[in-house]
Amino acid sequence: MSFWKNAVRVAVVAALGVGLAGCGINKLPAQDEKVKAAWSQVQNEYQRRADLVPNLVATVKGFAKQEQTVFIQVTEARAKATQTVLPADVLTNPQAFQAYERNQAQLQGALGRLLAISENYPQLKSDQNFLALQAQLEGTENRITVARRDYIQAVQDYNTMLRTIPYRWTASIFYPEMKPYQTFSTSEKNQSAPTVQF
């Protein structure tokens, strides 16, 4: 009789182990960490851009003395973007997430205006410091795009897991604190085609 009781216990433990493995008990936290890592990379790239701004502004300033308002806009946008204190729930808080993205978009727009100034200063366009900084900034913008794409994909995978069975059940039982994460969106202004004039 004891043999059968032990056999039943082993079978129950084995079935429970297989059931837990099949329900994604470890997959949800792994995906959660993937989202957090992708978000950290987005912030890393934003910081890289913010670090380049003072050098770019200083280089352009030497040539474009009368463009003071653009310099002020860039400096203010950088300060706003880098001084934003992110709440711990930024990834699940739509208002905080959108405010953070708005600040980053303002910095991006101000940088665009700063780079447009170079069209008025032929010596600036040929200056090696400016060219190197401009190339770094363009590379950083590309890296931001890639980091945001990776974050969007990680959030999509995570949010899909939270909404589908059996992960939905696993989350409600073992991880009730897990909530869907926010993803990036763009304003209607950014969705319209730019006007090109010759």
Average pLDDT, the chain: 80
- Does the structure show a pLDDT above 60 at 22? no
Residue 88 lies in a domain: yes
Residue 6 lies in a domain: no
Residue 166 lies in a domain: no
Q: pLDDT tens across 52-90, in order? A: 888 887 777 766 665 677 777 888 888 888 887 888 888
Residue 82 lies in a domain: yes
84: CATH: 1.20.1440.20
Residue 184 lies in a domain: no
Question: Quick count: other Cβ atoms within 10 Å of Cβ 4?
Answer: 8
- Does the structure show a pLDDT above 60 at 17? no
Higher per-residue pLDDT: 147 or 196: 147
Higher per-residue pLDDT: 54 or 118: 54
What was the pLDDT predicted at 34?
95
Spatial neighbors of 20 by CB under 8 A, at least 6 apart, are none
Residue 48 lies in a domain: yes
Q: Give the residue numbers spanning the domain of 68.
A: 40-146
Number of domains in the chain: 1
Mean pLDDT, residues 186-190: 60
Spatial neighbors of 113 by CB under 8 A, at least 6 apart, are 70, 73, 74
Q: Which tokens belong to 57?
A: 């502004």
Q: pLDDT tens across 157-180, in order? A: 999 999 998 999 999 999 999 999
- How far is the C-alpha of 43 from the C-alpha of 185, rounded, in Å? 16
What was the pLDDT predicted at 36?
94
Residue 44 lies in a domain: yes
Under a CB-based contact definition with an 8 Å cutoff, are residues 167 and 27 in contact? Answer: yes
Residue 79 lies in a domain: yes
What percent of the chain has a predicted confidence (pLDDT) above 70?
A: 78
